[in-house]
Amino acid sequence: MSGNTLVPSPRHQQAEDPSAQVEEERGSGMSSVLLLPDVPETVLPTLHFHANHCMFMQISSLLEGAWAGETRSPGNGLLCLCLELCCLWHGTVIITFSDFLPLLLGSGFQRLILLYQGCNESVGPQVFNIFTLAFPIAHTSVPPTVDCLNQNYKPIDPKILLRNTSFAVWRIVKEGGIDLFLWILMANQAKLMTQQPMVVDELWDQMFEKVERTGFDLPTLNLQLSRDRGLSGYNSWRQFCGISQPSVLETLAQVLRNHGLAENVMQLYGTTKNIDIWIGALAESFVNGGRVGPLMTCLIGIQFRNALDGDRFWWFFTSQQRSSLAQTFLSQIMCDSTHISEVPRLTFKANKYPFGFVSSWNSERTEEGTERCISFKQQRVPACKCEIIRAPKQSS
């Protein structure tokens, strides 16, 4: 994965411009096999799955070596697969709830995502329609270019335009693995989520140019999504969250803390009742310590809280297993799965090398550390108290 090919292919092949290949794939209907639209979104799932997969393949090899005769069976491989998926899922959950959500929701995290008390069968864990519209807040933090770095975190040319990263997973396969893009993600700061401009020009009419006849207008698609699904407007969702609903220019300006922006919104929509949920929620100023406004904090917080409290199949671990899982953090996965020599202490923060970076081979042990990588967790996911509840058998 680091400097090696991710799929079987001739080693003498060089990285090539994908234009001809993409056009060929469009004609043959193959572009749908590229599941993730751009390079950064492909890197982290590849990293996380590869880390767990390699670890459990090593465990499987050791177990197979110890097992003899009839003990070895296809079921053993299934056991390792189940363990692999279980740890992959819970590692992702721990990273999300311990490292990502507190930074995103700020003061709203402690208020909305309470201490886990066990399964609540009255809570539905399904993903709400509104959440799929609220969570693309990351579109406002996307920079216009991918600024390449070397292993020493020094800038190298050329910069890659965002439009050229869509469905360009060939860059990972043919340009040295995921390490290059992990350096970029760790040391380059994302676009600051601001009221003006909300999104960069690269997202207007230029997305997916490599796989479509014309580019897509991503912000407009987000706005259209709520209308296609018949979702209520901005004020209705503020009412759902129990916060004020601005009705005139003056109250909207107070909510947005920006009179000029409020004037533009009112000029466009005419009335606050017509404001689209996506644009209205993104226009709000951030909550204390967070990166989203009050409405986004509410919608995202409720979704993650319900996903945790309402999951009937949340696994029950022993205290030792929970303690081991609590040591999962993104920097550790990067240490274990790549050849990267330095990683940031807090991966989800805006890092600038060398500040906040530590050696991934640091052998010093700390109170919350491991021998290879130091854990810097500020908050742990509470222990699960819910036994697995099996689905009832259907009567014949």
What tokens were used for 222? 């987000």
Query: What are the C-alpha distances in Å from 225 to residues 133, 135, 198, 304?
Result: 7, 13, 18, 21
Q: What are phi and psi of 220, to 5 degrees?
A: -65, -35
Q: How far is residue 125's CA from residue 195's CA, in Å, rounded to a whole number?
A: 32
* CA gap 362, 366 in Å, rounded: 11
Map 94-142 to HEC letters: HHHHHHHHHHHHCHHHHHHCCCCCCCCCCCCCCCCHHHHHHHHHHHHHC
If phi over 0 gives left and psi between -120 and 50 gives alpha, with beta otherwise, what is residue 205?
Answer: left
DSSP secondary structure, 42-98, as one string:
HHHHHHHHHHHHHHHHHHHHHHHHH--GGG--HHHHHHHHHHHHHHHHHHHHHHIII
Distances (CA, A) of 136 to 48, 141, 292, 300, 362: 21, 10, 12, 11, 36
Q: Which residues pair with 177 in a beta bridge?
A: 2
Q: Which of 16, 7, 300 is nearest to 138 (CA)?
A: 300
List, in sequence order, the alpha helices (H) in the chain. 19-28, 39-66, 74-95, 101-105, 107-112, 129-134, 170-174, 179-187, 218-228, 234-240, 249-256, 259-269, 277-283, 294-309, 319-325, 330-337
Give the whole-angstrom CA distance, residue 57 versus residue 247.
59
**155 near 183, Cβ under 8 Å?**
no
Total count of residues recorded for the chain: 396
139 is in an annotated binding site: yes
Amino acid identity at 222 = N
Q: In the chain, what is the straight-line distance between the N-terminal and C-terminal CA atoms, in Å?
A: 50
Farthest-apart Cα atoms in the chain, separation: 79
The two structure tokens encoding residue 178: 């995921």
Binding-site entries for heme b: 139
Q: Which residues are annotated as a binding site?
A: 139
